């Protein structure tokens, strides 16, 4: 091959899109430490700490708490492929892209998916779920997205879980964007299976998906009549590696350096305090909202259920979505997110996640947007 | 949580096990560069270069060549889940752990698996495959491991592929340990689907699985009557992101920093020259073998098909496997691998993969082993 390849030097962006968020220098530093073997006693000991810190971040005592060695969409698949057996009826609440993805996954697992739909930009309605639960008394699982990254909507996870449990259903929750950014209490709210992503409010590099399963979920997995269709994501096998220290068995080679980074990002959350992190996200959201108002922009989502870490901003009439985003990227090294699906071209998605969520970034973003919009 | 968590500082090991191998400082440096958004034009351009370099390393022109955002076992699953439809008959050659894993995956995909078994430590026999192909004229795929990491055996990929193709079968090859360490020619040998791992002879951090599919494989995937059971690994969806530059659509968030590292490791292979890398692995294997002989140790595998990058060493009678490995790790910061499965307690696996494969490491390993064994 005659082509020449030179060292890649990415520019330093400010990442205010839907994730990845800005990764702190401490996490990047942890990432680049010398690689250990995936069965090295020192790495195994780090795995125990990662598990403890994930339990802290999820507010759970669940033993089966660990990072899947792949992105959030694999975490989604891990939860569904393990819990859903062919023929299982699963109620999926959809009010954005990721509820739809859950629905697709249920079908691919051989489950019977019942969709509870609400408009994009609105919350999942409790009475709709209640009707679906009454109409489908044989439903085994209720699945929904806590923080819908495609629309900026927070669903009422606590109320949805309570309703599902009243009807004897297990609950399966997408917390990709909520973990460490908004109030989330796995044990107290009765969540049976949950997955997240490393690259949102944890501000780790993308590529890992923290998950957690309750005892009831493990019970369901143990009672399966058919094997989990995925070998890579079969929790029974994965736990041979992520289970108790001394008996760790090889399943796959863990992404060692990414786990260093995850540990460091969780350590920083623990150092700040989880509730403090939630509050910080809320405070900076309010500042962003005020700043947007000052330049004539509004959020596309009602404040009552607006995500603090992912703000859907209505693109004003006559403004070219792509021109603005390109100008922000090229002239300000600032990334904001495009709209997805139904919201494409209609909203920008401004992320204030994890390390990104600070007042300087709010001001920088507002000033950059102001400058670009004033150019016409 | 009252527990305190301090910054993790891993020791600097010399990694001479079955992978991960030593990651060069250049690759660790690339890994820790500022994170870009996964749709950032500069990252998209890097993805194109990664694809070109993977084509170079695989010796293929296959358009569908890219890294899966997960470890090698997910790469295995990606190849099988996409190519195997329920009811498809697949001949799997097994002479170690990883052939057995392929077999499990075929079954989980709903395929009918026919096993061609050979003893651990020996090659897959061509006449056994020939008999299986005659006995199963309806077989659609032949799957085997090129470099069996559990035993240190190199299977004759070229001959196995030729035989499979003579019987109208597609070929599916595990090249986790062979890529960039041993001769491998995807197009010339007629390989239809292949997967590898980032943490072996590429000496990148663990967590990515380069894959490549031929036109015939893509044809089979396009002709599927049932959807691929995995949403995360469905090539049709993945290619929406890894396909042509301008039309990239969001599928999952790519592990951006790991891709930086993969690019750098591939760039280093390209700089050295692929054939030079193959030769280097062979030369250092010979030096290792001579060194082992000088301290009374022998390889468990016939030189005719012994892997240069992964050397199965017979543990002498009366020597305690674990005591030796612990002493190497604790006193020399040197990791060598334990035996797996049938070979547990019987062999050590000494890796000379990628960046690890150099004369200094050979000498260091022999001297350390000598010291530890002489202690008794």
User: What domains, with CATH codes, occur in chain B?
Assistant: 14-19+274-375 (3.90.1150.10), 25-270 (3.40.640.10)
- Answer yes or no: are the C-beta atoms of A109 and B229 closer than 8 Å: yes
CB within 8 Å of chain B, chain A residues 335-354: 335, 340
CB within 8 Å of chain B, chain A residues 262-291: 263-264, 267, 270-271
CB within 8 Å of chain B, chain A residues 88-117: 101, 104-105, 107-109
Q: pLDDT of B335-344, one tens digit each?
A: 999 999 999 9
Residues sharing a CB contact under 8 Å with residue B222, sequence separation 6 or more, in sequence order? none
Residue in B344, B364, B43 with CA at minimum distance from that of residue A20: B43
Distance CA A215, CA B84 (A): 34
Cross-chain residue pair B229–A109, CB shorter than 8 Å:
yes
* pLDDT classification of B240: cutoffs 50, 70, 90: confident
Cross-chain residue pair A34–B17, CB shorter than 8 Å:
no
Per-residue confidence (pLDDT) for residue A132, from 0 to 100 = 98
How distant, in Å, are the alpha carbons of A91, A162, A192, A216 from that of A168? 12, 10, 12, 11
Residues in chain B: 376
Residues sharing a CB contact under 8 Å with residue A155, sequence separation 6 or more, in sequence order? A93, A95, A123, A124, A144, A145, A146, A147, A148, A305
Q: Rounded to a whole number, what is the distance in Å from the CA of A227 to chain B's nearest CA?
A: 7
Kindly tell me if the per-residue pLDDT of B247 is higher than 80: no
- Answer yes or no: are the C-beta atoms of A7 and B260 closer than 8 Å: no
Instruction: Return the structure tokens found at A126.
Output: 């409790």
Q: Rounded to a whole number, what is the distance in Å from the CA of A73 to chain B's nearest CA?
A: 6
Helices (H), A72-176: 72-83, 97-108, 126-135, 157-166
A149–B contact, CB cutoff 8 A: no
| Residues facing A171 on adjacent strands | A142
Cross-chain residue pair A35–B22, CB shorter than 8 Å:
yes
- Answer yes or no: are the C-beta atoms of B41 and B245 closer than 8 Å: no
Size of interface A-B (CB pairs under 8 A): 252
- Answer yes or no: are the C-beta atoms of A305 and A123 closer than 8 Å: yes
The region of weakest confidence among A247-251, B118-122, B151-155, B207-211 is A247-251
Q: Rounded to a whole number, what is the distance in Å from the CA of B202 to chain A's nearest CA?
A: 14
| Residues facing B135 on adjacent strands | none
Question: Considering chain B, what percentage of its residues have pLDDT values greater than 90?
Answer: 95
A13–B contact, CB cutoff 8 A: yes
Q: What angle do the packed helices A274-294 and A359-374 form, to 10 degrees?
A: 20
Per-residue confidence (pLDDT) for residue A11, from 0 to 100 = 98
* pLDDT classification of B244: cutoffs 50, 70, 90: low
Instruction: Return the structure tokens found at A188.
Output: 């107290």
Alpha-carbon torsion (B231, A157, A272, A66), positive or negative: negative
Residue B66's SS3 state is strand
Mean pLDDT, all residues of chain B: 96
Per-residue confidence (pLDDT) for residue B331, from 0 to 100 = 98
Per-residue confidence (pLDDT) for residue A245, from 0 to 100 = 58
Kindly tell me if the per-residue pLDDT of B1 is higher than 80: no
Kindly tell me if the per-residue pLDDT of B43 is higher than 90: yes
Intervals of chain A under pLDDT 50: none
Nearest to B37 among A49, A101, A335 (CB): A335
Which chain A residues are Cβ-neighbours of B229 within 8 angstroms? Answer: 108-109, 229-230
Which chain B residues are Cβ-neighbours of A53 within 8 angstroms? Answer: 5
What ipTM was assigned to the predicted interfaces of this complex?
A: 0.97
First to last CA, chain A: 46
User: How many helices and strands (H and E) does chain A possess?
Assistant: 13, 13
Q: Which residue has the tokens 């899109």?
A: A17
Kindly tell me if the per-residue pLDDT of B246 is higher than 70: no
Per-residue confidence (pLDDT) for residue A1, from 0 to 100 = 58
- Answer yes or no: are the C-beta atoms of A157 and A32 closer than 8 Å: no
Cross-chain residue pair B9–A33, CB shorter than 8 Å:
yes
Distance CA A319, CA B52 (A): 38
Nearest to B31 among A31, A46, A199 (CB): A31
Element (H, E) at A312: strand A310-314
Q: Which of B255, B265, B329 would you mutate first to test chain A, the one with the most A CBs within 10 A?
A: B255
- Answer yes or no: are the C-beta atoms of B206 and B19 closer than 8 Å: yes
Q: What angle do the packed helices B274-294 and B359-375 form, to 10 degrees?
A: 20
Q: pLDDT of B85-138, one tens digit each?
A: 999 999 999 999 999 999 999 999 999 999 999 999 999 999 999 999 999 999
Element (H, E) at B240: helix B235-242
Instruction: Return the structure tokens found at A187.
Output: 């044990």
């Amino acid at each position: 091959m005659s082509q020449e390849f030179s060292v890649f030097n990415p520019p330093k962006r400010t990442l205010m899109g839907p994730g990845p968020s800005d990764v702190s220098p401490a996490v990047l530093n942890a990432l680049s430490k010398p690689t250990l073997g995936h069965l090295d006693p020192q790495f195994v000991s780090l795995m125990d700490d990662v598990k403890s810190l994930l339990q802290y971040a999820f507010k759970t005592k669940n033993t089966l708490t660990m990072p899947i060695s792949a992105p959030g969409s694999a975490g989604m698949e891990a939860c569904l492929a393990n819990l859903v057996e062919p023929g299982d009826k699963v109620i999926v609440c959809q009010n954005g892209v990721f509820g739809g993805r859950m629905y697709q996954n249920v079908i691919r697992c051989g489950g019977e998916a019942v969709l509870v739909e609400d408009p994009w930009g609105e919350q999942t309605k409790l009475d709709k779920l209640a009707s679906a639960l009454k109409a489908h008394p044989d439903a085994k699982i209720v699945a929904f997205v806590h923080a819908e990254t495609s629309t900026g909507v927070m669903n009422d996870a606590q109320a949805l879980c309570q309703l599902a449990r009243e009807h004897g259903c297990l609950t399966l929750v997408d917390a990709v964007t909520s973990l460490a950014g908004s109030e989330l209490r796995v044990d107290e709210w009765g969540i049976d299976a949950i997955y997240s992503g490393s690259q949102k409010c944890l501000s780790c590099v993308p590529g890992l998906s923290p998950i957690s399963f309750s005892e009831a979920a493990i019970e369901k997995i143990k009672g399966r009549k058919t094997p989990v269709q995925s070998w890579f994501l079969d929790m029974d096998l994965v736990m041979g590696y992520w289970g108790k220290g001394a008996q760790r068995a090889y399943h796959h080679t863990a992404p060692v350096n990414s786990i260093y980074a995850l540990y460091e990002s969780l350590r920083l959350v623990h150092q700040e305090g989880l509730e403090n992190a939630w509050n910080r996200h809320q405070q900076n959201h309010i500042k962003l909202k005020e700043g947007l108002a000052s330049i004539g922009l509004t959020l596309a989502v009602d404040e009552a259920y607006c995500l603090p870490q992912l703000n859907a901003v209505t693109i004003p009439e006559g403004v070219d979505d792509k021109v603005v985003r390109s100008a922000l990227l090229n002239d300000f090294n600032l990334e904001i997110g495009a709209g997805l699906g139904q919201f494409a071209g209609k909203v920008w998605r401004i992320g204030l996640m994890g390390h990104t969520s600070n007042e300087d970034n709010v001001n920088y973003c507002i000033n950059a947007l102001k400058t670009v919009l004033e150019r016409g």
